[in-house]
Amino acid sequence: MRKTIWLCAMAAIMMISCGGSKKQEAPAETNAAETPTLSGLYVSKFKGTVSGKETSLYVMKNTAGMEVCVTNFGGRIVSVMVPDKNGEMKDVVLGFDSIEAFLNNDSNFGALIGRYGNRIALGKFKLDGVEYSLPINNGKNSLHGGPNGFHNQYFDIQQPDDTTLVCSYVSADGEAGYPGELQVKVTYTLTGNNAIAIAYEAETSKPTVVNLTNHSYFNLSGDPNNTILDHVLFINADRYTPVKKDLIPTGKVDPVKGTPLDFTTATVIGDRIDDPSEQIKFGRGYDHNWVFKADNNPSTVACELYCPATGISMEVYTSEPAVQFYSGNFLNGSQAGKKGIAYQQRTALCLETQHYPDSPNQPSFPSTVLKPGEKYTSLCIYKFGVK
């Protein structure tokens, strides 16, 4: 089944593209003659070490002028430069402008997330009769692989050409409490028509659970001094997984119709984000898992985001059955990002393609178990345009 999904995913890329503890050393000084990236980043400011590994910044460019910068610390997307309706280039993701800032700020900005994206209740799950305990970092629960998940690990990155980055990481057996050595490969591809394709692969030495995603925070205005409340969002999902107060799913899959979570018609995000309903109160806004109508079909638009001020749009395609829409509710101004801008509440949003949260503890949810001899594959595409 996964092989079939993967073949469809690769076809979708072709279709859409046609046309632990951290030891830090002092970062290198910026050379006065150094040319910054289009987004204003300096590669020298990303030179350092994490647990003895060298860090750097990698730049992808396409013939249309789009630029994407990635660091090997967490495999993070640091900047994404796309044109607005006037042809002016805008950076549409949050992040920091140095490796030092990433190391000194606890964040998931732009990161590859694993081994398990989203929450696992009480940091425990059973597999083949054995109970595994995970680090707790979100109330009583484990979130995004714990405090030392993939977002805080070093990825080996190879760049075969201007539009491709191959990120590799080996997660040791027992790392963060998960069984099996997991060999992970994530390929970023920048297509000719301004899409970022993220192709995930993983293999394990023992039965384990896997749910990989990317945690980029998007603001299509290109200015995080602005909120995303004026952005218009469509989600091709007529169901969602309701949550309890701690944001762990109840186990149900309910219709969105008649709730403030209905984005089956493109809707301004700010219209219902402070609705008095219980689900919105639990998330302090949107922080829920939507279940797609077109399950595992990367040729169908899963989500579409649009900023009226800039005209920039972003379509999301995926082979995953669901997406977590998070509206930046827990940003609080305590982190100053690129250009020194403090990231306030709701200045960006995430659309994290995924399997459901807490699936290892929810027998009725699609399985996230990976066994030896199998290959985990997943695809997410963020395609940018102008309306």
Assess whether the previous peptide bond of 115 is cis (omega < 30° from 0).
yes
CB 160 within 8 A of CB 166: yes
CB 280 within 8 A of CB 242: no
The Cα–Cα gap between 384 and 317 comes to 12
Q: State yes or no: is 352 an active-site residue.
A: yes
The Cα–Cα gap between 168 and 182 comes to 11
The Cα–Cα gap between 108 and 75 comes to 11
Q: Which of 144, 215, 231, 355 is catalytic?
A: 215
Specify the pairing of strand 130-133 against strand 124-127: antiparallel
CB 352 within 8 A of CB 118: yes
The Cα–Cα gap between 201 and 6 comes to 10
Q: Which of 151, 304, 352, 355 is catalytic?
A: 352
How many residues belong to the chain?
387
CB 342 within 8 A of CB 348: no
Q: Transcribe 201-233 into DSSP letters.
A: EEEESS-EE-B-EE---B-TTS-TTS-STT-EE
Cβ neighbours of residue 222 under 8 Å, at least 6 residues apart?
84, 90, 91, 92, 310, 312
Residue 75: helix, strand or coil by DSSP? coil
Helices (H), the chain: 2-17, 99-104, 278-283
Amino acid at 221: S
CA geometry: angle 296, 299, 300, nearest 5 deg: 80
Q: State yes or no: is 231 an active-site residue.
A: no
Amino acid at 267: T
Annotated catalytic sites, by residue?
A: 215, 352
